[in-house]
């Protein structure tokens, strides 16, 4: 990781200042399994604390940690709704559980695939979009060069750090991030942290 930090500092003075302010790289990785993708679905369009509460309720109700497709499918939809999941999200999670159980979605295979192929493989599940797969690539598969162009936090941090008049669109994000490659995931983590007070964890 030292090599990545050195590259980012040297390649981009703005990113260098962010790294200086935020401090050491302390990403929290998860296992590249069914549970991690369910977690990403729960977190879609929700504040972190609210999402974590709902996710923990799901784990408790399913009586399985790590969460398994079988444990999810044993829960009635009404029970999942009562945990705080929206009708759409519980449908997506149940669909993912069915496809994982049948072998249509293969998490072990994802580890062998290129980033683009992982996106293609997982977005076949209804409700799993590119943003969700980007989170899975960064936090579960530990891919180091993912730029989540659909992430509001990364866009807001770029707008602030680079003094942009509005939230950057994907093409502008790619242009700024060109200097970061092959470490866009590391830069994205620093951008997320930069939005917090003095880079506090």
Which CATH number characterizes residue 45's domain?
A: 1.10.340.30
**Chain-centre distance for alpha carbon 91:** 20
CB 38 within 8 A of CB 58: yes
**pLDDT digits 0-9 by tens, 89-106:** 999 999 999 999 999 999
pTM of the model: 0.90
CB 30 within 8 A of CB 6: no
**pLDDT digits 0-9 by tens, 15-60:** 999 999 999 999 999 999 999 999 999 988 887 789 999 999 999 9
User: Which pLDDT does position 41 carry in this prediction?
Assistant: 93
Q: Domain range spanning residue 83?
A: 34-139
CB-based burial label for 80 (10 Å; 0-12, 13-18, 19+): buried
With tokens 């899975």, the residue in question is 136
Are residues 132 and 56 part of one domain? yes
Range in 40-44, 137-141, 167-171 with the lowest mean pLDDT = 40-44
pLDDT at 13 over 50: yes
pLDDT at 200 over 80: no
pLDDT at 79 over 60: yes
User: Which pLDDT does position 199 carry in this prediction?
Assistant: 35
DSSP annotation of 168 reads P
Domain of 9, CATH number, reads 1.10.1670.40
CA distance 46 to 54: 10
Are residues 65 and 12 part of one domain? no
Phi-psi region of 63 (alpha: psi -120 to 50; beta: other; left: phi over 0): left
Q: How many domains does the chain have?
A: 2
Are residues 134 and 46 part of one domain? yes
Are residues 92 and 38 part of one domain? yes
Among residues of the chain, what percentage have pLDDT more than 90? 92
Are residues 98 and 64 part of one domain? yes
CB neighbours of residue 126 within 10 Å: 12
Are residues 94 and 163 part of one domain? no
Are residues 182 and 160 part of one domain? yes
CA distance 161 to 12: 12
- For residue 71, how many C-alpha atoms fall within 13 Å in the half-sphere facing its CB? 14
């Amino acid at each position: 990781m030292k090599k990545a930090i050195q590259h980012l500092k040297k390649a981009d003075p703005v990113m260098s200042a962010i790294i200086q302010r935020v401090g050491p790289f302390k990403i929290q990785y998860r296992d590249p399994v069914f549970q991690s993708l369910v977690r990403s679905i729960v977190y879609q369009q929700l504040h972190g604390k609210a999402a974590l509460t709902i996710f923990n309720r799901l784990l408790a109700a399913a009586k399985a940690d790590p969460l398994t497709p079988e444990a999810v499918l044993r829960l009635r939809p009404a029970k999942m709704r009562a945990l705080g999941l929206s009708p759409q999200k519980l449908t997506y999670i149940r669909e993912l559980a069915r496809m994982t159980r049948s072998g249509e979605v293969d998490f072990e295979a994802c580890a062998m695939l290129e980033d683009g192929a992982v996106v293609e493989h997982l977005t076949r599940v209804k409700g799993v979009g590119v943003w969700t797969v980007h989170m899975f690539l960064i936090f579960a598969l530990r891919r180091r060069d993912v730029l989540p162009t659909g992430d509001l936090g990364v866009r807001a941090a770029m707008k602030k750090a680079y003094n942009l008049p509005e939230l950057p669109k994907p093409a502008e994000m790619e242009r700024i991030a060109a200097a970061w490659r092959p470490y866009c995931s590391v830069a994205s983590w620093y951008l997320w942290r930069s939005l917090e007070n003095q880079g506090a964890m």
